[in-house]
Structures are given as C-alpha cells and as structure tokens.
Amino acid sequence: MANPFLVLGGVAVGVITAGIGVLAVPGWIDNANDSAAMNDLGNIRGAESAAILQLGEYTDDFAILRSGELGVKFQKSEGVTLIGLEADTNESWCASVQSKSGRFFAASNVQAAIATGPGAESAMTTAGCDPDIITEILDKAADGAGPSGKPVDIGTPGPDGGKFTGGGNGSNAGGGNDGGSNNGGGNGGTWGGGDSGTVADAPLGPVAPMIEVFDVAWTSRGVFAADTNGKIVQSGADGHAHSLTFTGDITKAFSVFTYKGISSDAKGNLYVSAVGPFDTANPGAAVFAILKIAPDNSSTVVSTMPTGSDSPQWKTAYDGQVFYTYGGKLYSQGSDGAFSAVATPAGVPIVSDSKGTFQGKDSAGNLYFATMDTHYIVSKSGAVTQQPLLDYNNVSNLYNYTMEVGADGTRYMAAYRYLSKLDADGKVAQLANPQMDLEGWDQDDLLYPWVGALDPSGNPIIFKLNGDGGPIVMKSTTAGKLSTIMSD
C-alpha cells in the first residue's frame, strides 16, 4: 500500500486499526475496528482485480499479494483476523475477516458489496462465495492451516443470517430502494470553470511522489488523484503530482476513506468520506461524515451518518453534479449544495462498496447502474431498461470494470487493457489500448486502465495502477487519443 498516514495541516491521520488505544471510546470503537476490517477486504478486492488482468487468474498467494508486484499491495490492518482467502484460478475468489469487534465480514468477485454475518460462513454465503471455497476456508481456519497459522474463531456456523453492510440482505444487494419516479434530485449545475466565487484557489503545493491511484476527480485547477489510504495529490502543469495541505474538519478525522472514491462538484469542491468525532449530539463520539474540501483546501463536515454500516461511495456526473450511495440508497446534490435521496424503482441494485453500482446520468435525466452482468437504465419516469453487460469483445465475461457516462448517454468503460465506448444498446467498441498507444504502458506489464471522471468536454480521465513505469493519470479524447496528465 501507499503511505498509510495522511498529513493534514501538520496532523498525522492514520488508517484506523485495532491499535488505536487512545481512541478507545465506548460505543463506537467497535465500528472503527469494523471499518478497518472492511478496508482490508477492499484492498484484497483491488489486488484480485489486478491479478486477473496481470496474471490471467485470481490468486491466494500472499507472497504475491504483499509484494506490490500487482500494483496493489495488501497489508492487513492491526487487530483484523484474516480467516481465509481462496481463489479458483480465473473463476472466483472469496475472502473473510473478523474485526476486533468480533464481527465477521466477507467479500468475493460475485458481489460488489461487503457482507457481514453472525459467522464467517453466513458472511461468505451472502457475499456469493462458491460453496466449495467456503468449505475450504472454514476447514483451514479450524485446522490452523489458514493465513493466520493457527485455529481461528469462525463464529456461528451455518449459511443463514448474513446481510450486506450497506443495509440490505442477501436477496437484494443494497437493501432495496424507494419506489416512484426519478427526478435526479435536482441539478447541481454545469461546470463552473473555477471555484465558488467566494473562495480563492489554494496555491499549488510542491512536487510529491506519485501515489497508487484508486480514483480521480476533475476540477478546473487540476485533476485530483486519491489512493486507498487517505492520500490525495493534485496535478500540475508540469505533469507531476503535487502535495496538498488541508485545514479544517478533515484534520480531526480518524480515517479518510478515499478507497470509497473522491468527487468534485461544478464549483471545484472535493468530497470524500471519513470517520471522526463529528457527532454534534454526543460531542467526541465517532460517526461517518461527508467532508467537503473547498478550492482553498479548507474542509467542513456537510453531513453525518451512524457508523456500523458501509460509508458513502462517490460519483460525479458529466455536469459536475455529485452523487453518493449509502445504505442501499442513491443521494444527489441539488443546486443549493444539499444532498437528498433519489427515488429509484425496486429491483435496481444500489451498493456502495468497491466501485459501486451507480455509474452516472445523462442530460435527459436517465440514471445508469451496472452490476457484473447487467446494465440498468432508469428514466425520469422510473421506467427501467436492462441490457447485458459485455466486455470489449461483446461477450458477457467481465471480472472487473469502471465506467463513466457522458451527457449524451455514451458510456465509457475501462476493462482489461482497453478503454471502450458503449452504444445505446450496450454494444462495445474498443476506443484505446493504452498499453500499446502510450509510452509507459509496458505490454509485458499487463496492467489495465481505470476510468474515473469526465472533463467538461466529455473526455474520459483514466489511470492505471502501479507497476513498471509507475502509476499514470491521463486524458483520452472521445476519439481515443491519449495524453498524460500526471505521472512520476
């Protein structure tokens, strides 16, 4: 992993682990430990996504996962018990952990959401793990042959009782949604080409080492890139990453959840999720928070929510309107800057884990969602159109992808080695192959692009993970011409 400490205004803020003795405040420390456990599963997911594309198969070889050779280095958080990780070549992977709170969590390639349950078996079952893999993990855990090297607690036996951390259950990822039509929650405004008009841009910081990029956000003052551990850098005209010094509420956060994404609105504000002592009803108590970072790098809490479930997952639409998913619901930012729930038909899955299922909106107000095998397009009237999710060869064979939606409804998808463009029917046309088209993407590296944002002209902002040549953030035109924005 990248440096697990984010220096904010002179205060070192670490990823929450079980070793935070000074933070042991009754009533919420268990939730902080749970966040560390879910973060570990998120890192495993990223590593497995890199493995399938670089190695051609998933892996449970911890020597590889910890080495960083995949571009994502797994490092278990202190206090988290890794019950097991098993991979079935290119078919599937499943992982289960236990938080220091005693709660069990699991993730797999089948479901985007992290599952929890009264035991490892129920959590893995809900996460969609293969039954044979579940049995193998449980047997090794009981015999001491798992990654911990000793017998570990597997909790209540049996497959029942699991649910997704976003608040749903095993039959509906995300927990179901409100009925009714979709109005998009109001328009956050078109790209303003600058700040809010009352806040001056912070000066560009000094050149900094490039991070292992996990998400990006576009603003008129540069592209911001975030890793999985709370680190954010800003691009400069020199093509390098530049460090940031934040002030305000973010300096009080116990952990900044950039692994849930980073967004920017039309006024140049950034948005991230965090956990910290932001509960106004119980001063000092920890809650999840939505943090807004203004163009001058000052930060404020704009909303809070209880810990104990998944934290918000971010997405910016083509026009700068900000969305997030939380607790099985979609929220959008209105023109006043406030967030409100968007009504979506039942049956449209909404989860806020990994890259999430919400992909964006178009200028007609249609909302786009996608799972591992299906597109869901929700019109303003609430009508739902489903399409098969296809890979770059127009075959339903995807293991991982990222997606952005343009104003005209064009979907840009990054998967395997390709940036592709989808037509209205979901058919895929290859747009660019960065490994072949751009210097620094070594063909032998077998790394793949992710798409994380669109600029105001609709050009995709894409990036790759670490590896030979290091991480790179670049822009692709809508015709597939590539140019570098930020690299070492």
86 and 228 share one domain? no
Q: Does 486 map to a domain? A: no
C-alpha torsion 36→40→42→48, nearest 10: 180
Under the banding of pLDDT at 50, 70 and 90, the label for residue 13 is very low
Report whether pLDDT(167) > 60.
no
Tokens linked to 64: 């590889």
% pLDDT > 70, the chain: 77
Q: Does 93 map to a domain? A: yes
Report whether pLDDT(91) > 90.
no
Count of CB atoms situated within 10 Å of the CB of 241:
29
148 and 212 share one domain? no
Q: 24-33, 428-437, 460-469 — which is least confidently predicted? A: 24-33
Q: Hey, which residues does 11 pair with through a beta bridge?
A: 8
Confidence (pLDDT) at 2: 27
Q: How far apart are CA 216 and CA 322, in angstroms?
A: 14
209 and 157 share one domain? no
User: Do 328 and 167 touch, CB atoms closer than 8 A?
Assistant: yes
Q: Where are the beta strands (DSSP E) in 130-191?
A: 163-164
81 and 202 share one domain? no
Report whether pLDDT(443) > 70.
no
**135 phi/psi in degrees, rounded to 5:** -60, -40
**What 3-state DSSP class applies to 37?**
helix
153 and 14 share one domain? yes
197 and 276 share one domain? yes
**What 3-state DSSP class applies to 307?**
coil
**What does the chain come to in residues?**
488
pTM of this prediction? 0.66
DSSP 226-257: E-SSS-EEEE-TTSSEE----EEGGGG-SEE-
236 and 316 share one domain? yes
**434 phi/psi in degrees, rounded to 5:** -55, -30
Average pLDDT over residues 182-200: 46
Boundary (domain end) residue, out of 303, 320, 337 = 320
Mean pLDDT over all residues of the chain?
A: 78
Boundary (domain end) residue, out of 267, 285, 320 = 320
Q: Does 145 map to a domain? A: yes
Q: How far apart are CA 324 and CA 260, in angstroms?
A: 10
Q: How far apart are CA 84 and CA 218, in angstroms?
A: 38
Report whether pLDDT(134) > 90.
yes
User: To the nearest 5 percent, what fractions of the chain are helix, strand and coil?
Assistant: 15, 35, 55
Under the banding of pLDDT at 50, 70 and 90, the label for residue 254 is confident
Report whether pLDDT(356) > 90.
no
189 vs 257, higher pLDDT: 257
Under the banding of pLDDT at 50, 70 and 90, the label for residue 364 is very high
Per the structure, the count of domains in the chain is 2
457 vs 193, higher pLDDT: 457
52 and 128 share one domain? yes
Under the banding of pLDDT at 50, 70 and 90, the label for residue 305 is confident
Q: Does 415 map to a domain? A: no
Q: Hey, which residues does 332 pair with through a beta bridge?
A: 323, 340
Q: Does 241 map to a domain? A: yes
Under the banding of pLDDT at 50, 70 and 90, the label for residue 20 is very low
**What 3-state DSSP class applies to 120?**
helix
Average pLDDT over residues 453-479: 81
Under the banding of pLDDT at 50, 70 and 90, the label for residue 325 is confident
| Alpha carbon 327 to its chain's center | 15
Q: What pLDDT digit, counting tens, does each position of 263-300 carry? A: 999 889 999 988 888 988 887 788 888 999 999 999 99
Q: Does 469 map to a domain? A: no
Confidence (pLDDT) at 15: 31
Report whether pLDDT(166) > 50.
no
Report whether pLDDT(185) > 70.
no
Task: Tell me which residue range forms the domain holding 252.
Answer: 189-320
Confidence (pLDDT) at 73: 67
The CA radius of gyration of the chain, in Å to the nearest whole number, is 21
Paired sense of beta strands 298-305 and 247-248, if any: parallel
Average pLDDT over residues 422-431: 89
| Of residues 364, 390, 392, the one with CA closest to residue 379 | 364
Confidence (pLDDT) at 282: 82
Confidence (pLDDT) at 474: 87
124 and 257 share one domain? no
Report whether pLDDT(119) > 90.
yes
Q: Does 351 map to a domain? A: no
Q: Does 33 map to a domain? A: yes
Under the banding of pLDDT at 50, 70 and 90, the label for residue 26 is very low
92 residue type, one letter: S
| Residue/partner pairs of 461-466 with CB below 8 Å, 24 or more apart | 461/216, 461/218, 461/223, 461/485, 462/414, 462/419, 462/434, 463/213, 463/216, 463/225, 464/71, 464/213, 464/434, 465/46, 465/50, 465/70, 465/71, 465/72, 465/212, 465/213, 466/68, 466/71, 466/72, 466/212
Under the banding of pLDDT at 50, 70 and 90, the label for residue 197 is very low
Exposed, middle or buried, 148 (CB in 10 Å: 0-12/13-18/19+)? Answer: middle
34 and 136 share one domain? yes
**What 3-state DSSP class applies to 81?**
strand
102 and 205 share one domain? no
280 and 227 share one domain? yes
Boundary (domain end) residue, out of 294, 320, 346 = 320
Under the banding of pLDDT at 50, 70 and 90, the label for residue 191 is very low
Confidence (pLDDT) at 448: 65
Q: How far apart are CA 396 and CA 401, in angstroms?
A: 12
Confidence (pLDDT) at 353: 52
Task: Identify the helix (H) or strand (E) that includes residue 385.
Answer: strand 384-388
